[in-house]
Amino acid sequence: MSVITRRTFLDGAAKGGLALGAGSLIAACGSSSSSSSPGTTASSSTTGATGTPKHGGTLTAGLTGGSSSDTLDPNSPVNNTDYARVANLYESLVWLNAAGTPVYRLAKEMTPNSNATEWTIRLRDGVTFHNGKPLTADDLIFSIHRVLNPKAPGEAASALAGIKAGEIKKLDKLTIRVPFSHSYSTFIETLAANITVYLVPVGFDPKMPVGTGPFKYKSFTPGQQSVFDRNENYWNSPLPYVDSLVMTNFEDETSQVNALLSGQVDVVNLLSQDTINTVTGSGKKVVISPGGGWNPFTMRVDQAPFNDVRVRQAFRLLVDRPKMNDVVFGGHGTLGNDVFSIWSTEYDHSLPQREQDIEQAKHLLKAAGQADATFQLTTADIAQGVVNMAQVFAQQASAAGVKVKLNQVTVTDFYGPNYLKWVFAQDYWYYQAYLAQVSQATLPKSPYNETHWNDPHYTALYQQALAQNDSAKRDEIAHEMQKIDYDQGGYIIPFFPPVIDGYSPKVGGIIQSKVGSSFNDWNFEAMYKMA
């Protein structure tokens, strides 16, 4: 029964060149991934530490984004700074390592039954919360219920949606059995990407943010700053290295970079390509990760003009992908093919690379009766590079004689009542495996189905995959689904943007990562200060 998950892990390990063992996971990905990450050539992206890690000191991180609605509630992080904070206070059962492969964290083992309608989860032994209480099966059950609470559903509620919450069974002090209303062979991958199923003690109160993570809560001012202390009893010693972790919000990149240059912070995240030279030219360093996150253009397939597949394909053909990648991310991104989850074992690399074809695009638009139409693209500064991508798209379209007008709105308006309803807009996602991503984005019941994709054949294929415990057969089904995405889908994915983080040469333990969020998913516990 446990073959499937092991096999998934081994697959990932083989591709990423990782040595995985449940006991030494974090150390393993820390040491291996700098050599395993392909795709970056910039010499400035040399990563990792010279010398051996040492304990002590304060690590100060200048993080982009955040507002007075910042939260330490593990269930509802919204912006970058929220994710960074909760990822260091709390831990989940599984997470993605730097190669984008799911690995156990607080879980010791997770095994499905034969048709994956029931999962048995055993927790790692000897883990304690910051308040000294040991982690038990009761805490896990409490945490799952907390995410699913209908009065305040958590960000990851949809990832757990199939769980029959009332029927979860505690088998022993560290083990539970979770029944699902349907097959869920991709439970581990989905859980690893939807990291906010964090484990908290029974009776958790967000005003006393207690987790098992590498750092303990000390102080927090929403919209400004948090101070966390080293968790002396962390189960994965010798991590973390620094005694204190300070995270400060920054409203814009210029002041963020200025803080790095003037030595006020040690690390900064999510830079644009424009600041790479500024940072490296001033004696600081950058790490450029080939992230598997993606910034798609989203076309609603149920609304004119994009309900006509010819218009969608025409728009995909209008994009000069290498040029857009060059202009917006200095060529550091990885070219995309309108199919998400590029680092997934399920990703089909055999689909021909889509290239700009203005003739064909115009021909398709004409056939669809849209040759002279003006299209409106709604954009907002929701993630690094997104507005610039929109500008380049509009420019490339207009060079081809297709009129695209930009409608830039504020971030708040973008996520306002029109969110998930824009006809032609943009979005951003972190990396997840293909089928896990499908459950979030391209099923009629997906919580974030921004393209309003509803293809019965596609959905049926997905359900087949969920019942399929053999990962090779799952990959086959996934490839069939990707062919549909490629030929008809509502996403334009020109490339997978790089994640560019800056740091002081006095900081060690920084690695490249494929997960699409900064610092290998906020892995501050692996960083250390050099003398």
Structure tokens at 153: 């559903």
Does 412 participate in binding other proteins (rule CB under 8 A)? Answer: yes
224 binds other proteins (CB under 8 A): yes
Residue 476 Cβ, how far from other proteins at the closest point, in Å? 31
Residue 30 beta carbon to other proteins: minimum distance, rounded to whole angstroms: 29
| Residue selected from 250, 343, 458, 519 as contacting other proteins according to rule CB under 8 A | 250
Task: Quote the Cα angle for 338-343-347, to 5°.
Answer: 55
Binding to other proteins, residues 333-392 (CB under 8 A): 381-382, 387-388, 390-392
For other proteins, the binding residue among 56, 238, 369, 416 (CB under 8 A) is 416
The residue to which tokens 């240059």 are assigned: 261
* CB contact at 8 A, 294 and 441: no
- Helices assigned H by DSSP within 369-455: 386-399, 411-414, 434-441
Terminal alpha carbon distance of the chain: 49
Q: Which residue, 377 or 433, has its beta carbon nearer to other proteins?
A: 377
Least CB distance from residue 45 to other proteins, whole Å? 18
Least separation, in Å, of the C-beta of 43 and other proteins? 18
- Contact pattern for other proteins over residues 295 through 324, marking x by CB under 8 A: ----------------------------x-
HSE value, Cβ hemisphere, 13 Å, CA-based, for 89: 33
- How far apart are CB 223 and other proteins at their closest, in Å? 6
Contacts of 101 (CB under 8 A, 6+ apart): 9, 12, 13, 15, 16, 18, 20
Return the ∠ at Cα 339 (arms to 297 and 414), rounded to 5°.
25
Nearest CA among 198, 193, 226 for reference residue 211? 198
> Which one of residues 258, 307, 356, 464 is an interface residue with other proteins (CB under 8 A)?
258
* Residues 156 to 215 in contact with other proteins, rule: CB under 8 A: 157-158
CB atoms within 10 A of CB 133: 13
Binding other proteins (rule: CB under 8 A), the pick from 36, 67, 175, 307 is: 67
- CB-nearer residue toward other proteins: 32 or 378: 378
Q: Give the nearer residue to other proteins in terms of CB position, either 328 or 365.
A: 328
Q: Is 89 in the site for other proteins (CB under 8 A)?
A: no
Give CA angle at 187 (185, 191), nearest 5°.
160
CB of 438 to other proteins, least distance (A): 17
Stretch that binds other proteins, among 47-55, 129-137, 138-146, 152-160 (CB under 8 A): 152-160
Residue 486 lies near other proteins (rule: CB under 8 A): no
The region of 71-79, 90-98, 486-494, 512-520 touching other proteins under the rule CB under 8 A is 71-79
- Interacting residues with other proteins between 266 and 285 (CB under 8 A): 272-275, 277-278, 281-282
Of 73, 94, 77, nearest to 210 by C-alpha is 73
Whichever of 394 and 526 has its CB closer to other proteins, that residue is 394
325-362: burial string, b at 16+ Cβ within 10 Å, e else: bbbbbbbbbbbbbbbbbbbbbbbbeebeebebbbeebb
Q: Which DSSP symbol is given to 24?
A: G
Q: Which is nearer to other proteins, 10 or 382 (CB)?
A: 382
What SS3 class is residue 361?
A: helix
- Count Cβ neighbours within 10 Å for each residue of 413-441 and write b for 16 or more, e otherwise: ebeeeeebebbbbbbebbbbbbbbbbbbb
Q: What is the nearest approach in angstroms of other proteins to the Cβ of residue 374?
A: 15
Distance CA 378, CA 373 (A): 16
Closest CB to other proteins among residues 248, 523: 248
Residue 325 within binding range of other proteins, rule CB under 8 A: no
Which of the residues 229 through 248 are near other proteins (CB under 8 A)? Answer: 248
Considering the rule CB under 8 A, would residue 19 count as an interface residue with other proteins?
no
Residue 255 within binding range of other proteins, rule CB under 8 A: yes
* Near other proteins in 423-452, by CB under 8 A: 428, 447-448
- Asked if 411 interacts with other proteins (CB under 8 A), we say yes
CB of 11 to other proteins, least distance (A): 30
In 3-state terms the chain splits into helix, strand, coil percentages (rounded to 5) of 35, 20, 45
**Beta carbons within 8 Å of 104's beta carbon, 6+ residues apart:** 22, 25, 93, 94, 110, 124
71 is a site residue for other proteins (CB under 8 A): yes
Considering only 232, 252, 372, 487, the residue that binds other proteins (CB under 8 A) is: 252
Which position among 350, 417, 456, 531 is part of the footprint of other proteins (CB under 8 A)? 417
**Overall size of the chain counted in residues:** 531
Q: Is 504 in the site for other proteins (CB under 8 A)?
A: no
Q: How many residues bind other proteins (CB under 8 A)?
A: 76
Binding range to other proteins, per CB under 8 A, among 168-176, 217-225, 473-481, 520-528:
217-225
Tokens standing for residue 123? 């927790």
Residue 476 sits in the site that holds other proteins (CB under 8 A): no
**Stretch binding other proteins (CB under 8 A), from 33-41, 218-226, 292-300, 461-469:** 218-226
